[in-house]
């Protein structure tokens, strides 16, 4: 009997509950609509307000001198370097140096011997002596008896003597090439020959040298400077650099020479420094990291990175002038102190949008808005 009564009692209760839930939902909707009607329009960085103007945060274009330190790769090379080749064929009679030998200018490095060359020189000198004697006899006979010897015969003998003397002198010069001496002070860094070997002039530029000689007390530091930084290079300005072999030590050398040409492949120019290496801490072939100060001849203009827009066809910032947007094409430079360097038709003190946007077309109405509060 109880089950017959329960449906009639629960029905009205469910209806009442549903009616109250519906009123609650209607009340919440009404409150939401009222709040929306009373709340002012809020725009994002590039959103348009009710009046059609875009609310943007303005920021001034700054002008200041650029001085950013970057690390550029460089290489240490010998101040002087030479591959020692023989200028005439011969056997290695004596090798006076080895890898690592320290030599002075004029020191004997390699002594060659060429028996055939010596024989040719002796023969040429004997011929010179004989022809000189012939000339002397003809001249004496000509002086003693007029007409006994024709002047033409004397001249022919004298010419033959001069030719023989020239040949003998050339052979003596070749014999001098059998002694290979150091052209400058340095260190032998490579040796590719042993006593008894037959050597001669290289058949091509790829021939293997007998020795390789390099300076060590003075080195060249060559650094590739980007094209955009070449206008601020000053001869004599010191450069600091480090090498992996001495990570805790900083070296310094003045700028001595400029390449005066930009490599079209890397868009860099070679800059050379003369490095004093009297203590021998550095060696040729080392790579170095140069602390390069990026500077400009004149102060540069800077804006926040967010102000620069990379569009599909151009890079620009949005200048704010007379309540309207004005896109200005620019070219990016380097980043310094949280700002980015820009080049274009801008001037210091002009106002641009802190957050640029492609939506801000030329002539778009803009209205300034306060920056968002910094998060704690």
Q: 322-347 pLDDT, tens per residue?
A: 999 999 999 998 888 889 999 999 99
Residue 50 has pLDDT above 80, yes or no: no
Beta-bridged to residue 295, according to DSSP, are 67
Put the strands of the sheet holding 211-214 in their side by side order: 81-84, 211-214, 186-191, 102-103
What 3-state class would DSSP assign to 78?
A: strand
Residue entry with tokens 């550029």: 72
pLDDT at 267: 93
- State the Cα angle at 101 between 98 and 106, rounded to 5°: 100
Query: Domain residue spans in the chain?
Result: 54-66+299-368, 74-80+214-295, 115-177
* pLDDT at site 38: 40
178: three-class secondary structure by DSSP = coil
Whether residue 276 is predicted with pLDDT greater than 90 in this model: the reply is: yes
- What is the Cβ-side half-sphere exposure of residue 197, based on CA atoms within 13 angstroms? 12
Q: What is the mean pLDDT of residues 211-235?
A: 91
Least-confidence region, from 4-8, 238-242, 326-330: 4-8
For the record, the structure tokens of 300 come out as 């540069």
Q: What is the pLDDT of residue 371?
A: 74
Which pLDDT belongs to residue 7? 39
Task: Please state the φ and ψ torsions of residue 367, each to the nearest 5 degrees.
Answer: -135, 135
* pLDDT band, very low/low/confident/very high, at 40 (cuts 50, 70, 90): very low
- In this prediction, residue 45 carries a pLDDT of 43
CATH architecture entry for 74-80+214-295: Beta Barrel (2.40)
115-144 and 151-176 helices, crossing angle to 10°:
160
**DSSP, residue by residue, 102-130:** EE-TT-EEEEEE-HHHHHHHHHHHHHHHH
Give the pLDDT confidence score for residue 29 in this predicted structure. 42
When pLDDT is cut at 50, 70 and 90, the band that residue 161 belongs to is: confident
Q: Distance between CA 28 and CA 24 in Å, rounded?
A: 6
Which has more confidence, 221 or 227? 221
Whether the pLDDT of residue 193 is over 80: the answer is yes
Confidence tier at 205 by pLDDT (50, 70, 90): low
Which tokens belong to 157?
């003998």
Q: Where is pLDDT greater, at 7 or 72?
A: 72
Bigger pLDDT: 65 vs 1: 65
Rounded mean pLDDT of 76-103?
94
Alpha helices in the chain (DSSP H): 2-38, 115-144, 151-176
294 pLDDT above the threshold of 90: no
Q: What's the number of CA atoms in the CB half-sphere (13 Å) around residue 43?
A: 18
Chain centre distance of CA 323: 46
pLDDT of res. 51: 53
What pLDDT score does 373 carry?
65
pLDDT at residue 31, as a whole number: 44
Looking at 41-45, 96-100, 115-119, 331-335, which range is the least confident one?
Answer: 41-45
Selected residue with higher pLDDT from 207 and 285: 285
Q: Which of 135-139, 148-152, 235-239, 311-315 reaches the highest mean pLDDT?
A: 235-239
Q: Determine whether domain 54-66+299-368 maps to CATH 3.40.50.2300.
A: no
pLDDT at 10: 41
- Predicted confidence at residue 137, as pLDDT, reads 83
Query: Using CA atoms, how far apart are residues 306 and 352, in angstroms rounded to an integer?
Result: 11
Residue 367 corresponds to which tokens in the numbers above?
């209205």
Rg value, the chain, Cα: 45
- pLDDT (tens digit per residue) in 349-374: 999 999 999 999 999 999 988 776 65
Rounded to whole angstroms, the Cα distance separating 13 from 5 reads: 13
201, burial (CB in 10 Å: exposed 0-12, middle 13-18, buried 19+): exposed
Q: What is the spatial distance between Cα 367 and Cα 49, in angstroms, rounded to a whole number? A: 9
Average of per-residue pLDDT across 119-134: 89
Q: Report how far apart, in Å, the C-alpha atoms of 359 and of each of 82, 226, 309, 325, 373 are.
A: 64, 35, 11, 10, 24
Task: Quote the CA–CA distance of 376 and 275 in Å, as a whole number.
Answer: 51
The dihedral of CA 278, 281, 286, 292: what is its sign? Answer: negative
d(CA 174, CA 167): 11
Average model confidence (pLDDT) for the chain?
84
């Amino acid at each position: 009997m109880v089950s017959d009564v329960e449906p009639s009692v629960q029905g009205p209760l469910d209806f009442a509950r549903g009616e109250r839930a519906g009123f609650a939902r209607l009340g919440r909707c009404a409150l939401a609509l009222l709040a929306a009607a009373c709340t002012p329009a809020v725009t994002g960085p590039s959103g348009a307000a009710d009046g059609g103007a875009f609310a943007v945060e303005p920021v001034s274009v700054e002008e200041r001198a650029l001085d950013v330190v970057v690390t550029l790769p460089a290489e240490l090379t010998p101040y002087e370097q030479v591959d020692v080749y023989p200028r005439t064929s011969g056997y290695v009679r004596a090798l006076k140096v080895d890898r690592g030998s320290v030599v002075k200018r004029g020191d004997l490095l390699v002594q060659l011997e060429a028996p055939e060359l010596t024989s040719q020189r002796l023969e040429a000198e004997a011929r010179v002596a004989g022809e000189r004697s012939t000339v002397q006899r003809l001249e004496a006979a000509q002086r003693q008896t007029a007409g006994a010897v024709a002047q033409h015969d004397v001249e022919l003998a004298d010419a033959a003597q001069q030719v023989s003397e020239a040949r003998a002198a050339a052979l003596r010069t070749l014999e001098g090439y059998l002694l290979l001496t150091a052209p400058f002070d340095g260190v032998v860094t490579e040796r590719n020959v042993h006593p008894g070997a037959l050597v001669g002039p290289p058949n091509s530029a790829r021939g293997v040298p007998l020795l390789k000689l390099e300076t060590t007390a003075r080195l060249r530091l060559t650094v590739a400077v980007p094209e955009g930084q070449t206008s601020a290079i000053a001869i004599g300005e010191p450069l600091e650099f480090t090498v992996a072999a001495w990570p805790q030590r900083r070296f310094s050398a003045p700028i001595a020479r400029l390449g005066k040409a930009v490599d079209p492949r890397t868009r860099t120019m070679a800059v050379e420094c003369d490095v004093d290496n009297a203590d021998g801490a550095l060696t040729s072939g080392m790579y170095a990291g140069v602390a390069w100060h990026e500077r400009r001849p004149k102060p540069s203009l800077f804006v926040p990175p967010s102000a620069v827009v990379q569009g599909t066809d151009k890079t620009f910032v949005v200048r704010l002038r007379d309540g309207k947007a004005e896109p200005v094409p620019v070219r990016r430079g380097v980043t310094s102190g949280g700002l980015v360097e820009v080049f274009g038709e801008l001037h210091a003190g002009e106002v641009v949008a802190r957050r640029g946007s492609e939506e801000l077309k030329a002539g778009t109405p803009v209205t300034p808005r306060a920056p968002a509060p910094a998060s704690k």
